[in-house]
């Protein structure tokens, strides 16, 4: 027994010493302790500065290419006939492609809206589903400052107060209600819809992914991936495909990052054909992406991901550990002013408030 515990502790210690883990620690967000001035009238805190000098900046790479300057060592322009955007790859990471500024500001805003208002809708599952069951209209409820209530006697609430219409598909005990209605239910637990939105971490489109079993559960109810997202993914996947072959999107995982969130090093290895790419779309606040090698011992390459960038990973790149150790939400690094200017209308305030300190990542996959 003690030997097993010692082995587990040794394995955990070894993981802490890997090159990938070291890079995660280097770029992770660390908050400084509050400082108490002598006056004791005010406390201040912030974040520890991070050395970003080694982070590959594909925005600068794109600028160099556009002006005819030499590209950084190890970064190559990828020629793709018929593809209308510059594509770059990394010399020692075959199968990895970076398409900077692939989406316009208008397209970015469209997909942010879809990611918040449409993609979490049932039958799509989210990280909230296991706790609350299917939740309909989460973003609309957050916009209207509603609360999610748990009650065994939902008849005590007027249907239109809960659901907005009598044809609503709600039939579970967790329902949205006006704040003013909650006191009319004798026994109920409640949580603000806006707080619930901030707890959203993933949603799954198309074939539903079972996180506990790490496979796609074809028995779960699901809709096809929206046509517009399929069309975009097919178009963007072209550089990573053999000439003349197509990409068939069957599933997507949408990740939602809050200010201190990170995505640890991992492999996306549950699809059958790794020659087909994962099409990864970045939206919202800028992040650091780590692209490692085939073991955690390989030193990863750090690069910035900005809103509108698209990454493709196919073939050998599918065998590379990768993760997101940091997103930037401060005004000096987030780089979302253009998005916020598009969300300036009163009806868009909830979108602006959300994306001001968040990042969304849409990963589209061909499963079979």
Looking at residue 61, what is its pLDDT? 97
* Contact assessment for residue 207 and residue 219, using Cβ atoms and an 8 Å cutoff: no
Tokens of 297: 């011992």
State residue 357's pLDDT score.
95
Q: What is the pLDDT of residues 155-201, one digit of tens each?
A: 544 343 444 433 344 445 678 888 765 555 555 678 999 999 999 99
Residues belonging to the binding site for Fe cation are 266, 268, 322
Instruction: List the domain boundaries for the chain.
Output: 58-120+201-365, 128-154+171-197
DSSP per-residue letters across 134-202: ---SHHHHHHTT-EEEE-S-GGGS-HHHHHSSTT----SSEEEE-GGGGGGSSS-EEEEHHHHHHT--E
What are the pLDDT digits (tens) for 52-110? 999 999 999 999 999 999 999 999 999 998 899 999 999 999 999 999 999 999 999 99
Is pLDDT above 80 for 211? no
* 341-367 residue pLDDT tens: 999 999 999 999 999 999 999 999 999
Mean pLDDT of 289-304: 97
What region, left, alpha or beta, does residue 39 occupy, with left being phi > 0 and alpha being psi -120 to 50 degrees?
Answer: alpha
Task: Kindly report the CATH number that applies to the domain delimited by 58-120+201-365.
Answer: 2.60.120.590
- Global pTM value: 0.87
Q: What letters, b where the CB count within 10 A reaches 16 and e where it falls short, cover 153-168?
A: ebeebeeeebbbeeee
Residue 92 — φ and ψ, nearest 5°?
Answer: -105, 20
Residue 47 scores a pLDDT above 70? no
Among 121, 113, 105, which Cα is nearest to 347's?
113
Question: CA 298 to CA 19: how far, in whole Å?
Answer: 6
- Residue 115 gets which letter from DSSP? I
Rounded Cα–Cα distance for residues 30 and 34 (Å): 12
First vs last C-alpha separation in the chain: 42
- Pick the most confident of 141-145, 174-178, 206-210: 141-145
pLDDT in tens, 60-70: 999 999 999 99
Handedness of CA 313, 318, 320, 323 (dihedral sign): positive
- Cα–Cα distance for residue pair 323/249, rounded to 1 Å: 22
Binding residues: 266, 268, 322
Round the CA-based radius of gyration of the chain to a whole number and report it.
23
Average pLDDT, integer, range 30-38: 60
> Is the per-residue pLDDT at 6 higher than 60?
no
Helices and strands: H and E segment counts in the chain: 11, 17
The structure tokens listed for 30 are 């660390």
β 301-305/215-217 pair status: unpaired
The pLDDT of residue 4 is 56
- For residues 182 and 189, give the distance between their C-alpha atoms in angstroms, rounded to a whole number: 9
């Amino acid at each position: 027994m003690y030997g097993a515990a010692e082995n587990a502790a040794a394995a955990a210690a070894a993981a802490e010493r890997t090159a990938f883990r070291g890079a995660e620690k280097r770029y992770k967000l660390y908050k400084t302790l509050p400082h108490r001035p002598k006056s004791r009238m005010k406390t201040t805190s912030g974040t520890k500065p991070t050395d970003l000098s080694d982070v590959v900046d594909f925005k600068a790479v794109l600028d160099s290419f556009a002006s005819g300057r030499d590209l950084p060592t190890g970064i190559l322009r990828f020629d793709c006939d018929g593809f209308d955007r510059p594509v770059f790859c990394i010399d020692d990471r075959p199968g990895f492609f970076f398409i900077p500024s692939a989406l316009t500001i208008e397209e970015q805003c469209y997909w942010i809206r879809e990611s918040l208002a449409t993609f979490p809708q049932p039958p799509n599952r989210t990280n909230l589903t296991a706790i609350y069951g299917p939740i309909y209209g989460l973003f609309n409820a957050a916009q209207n400052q509603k609360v999610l209530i748990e009650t065994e006697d939902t008849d005590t609430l007027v249907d239109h107060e809960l659901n907005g219409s009598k044809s609503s598909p709600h039939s579970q005990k967790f329902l949205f209600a006006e704040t003013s209605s909650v006191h009319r239910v004798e026994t109920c637990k409640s949580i603000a819809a806006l707080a619930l939105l901030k707890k959203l971490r993933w949603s799954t489109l198309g074939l539903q992914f079972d996180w506990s079993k790490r496979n796609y559960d074809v028995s779960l109810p699901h809709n096809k991936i929206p046509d517009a997202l399929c069309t975009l993914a097919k178009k963007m996947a072209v550089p990573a495909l053999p000439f003349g072959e197509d990409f068939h999107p069957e599933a997507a995982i949408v990740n939602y990052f809050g200010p201190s969130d990170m995505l640890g090093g991992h492999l996306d290895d549950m699809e059958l054909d790794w020659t087909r790419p994962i099409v990864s779309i970045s939206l919202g606040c800028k992040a650091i992406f780590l692209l490692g090698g085939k073991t955690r011992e390989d030193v990863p390459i750090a690069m910035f991901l900005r809103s509108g960038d698209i990454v493709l990973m196919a073939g050998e790149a599918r065998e590379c550990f990768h993760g997101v150790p940091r997103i930037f939400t401060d005004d000096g690094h987030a780089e979302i002013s253009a998005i916020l200017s598009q969300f300036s209308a009163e009806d868009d305030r909830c979108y602006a408030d959300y994306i001001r300190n968040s990042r969304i990542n849409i990963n589209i996959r061909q499963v079979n």
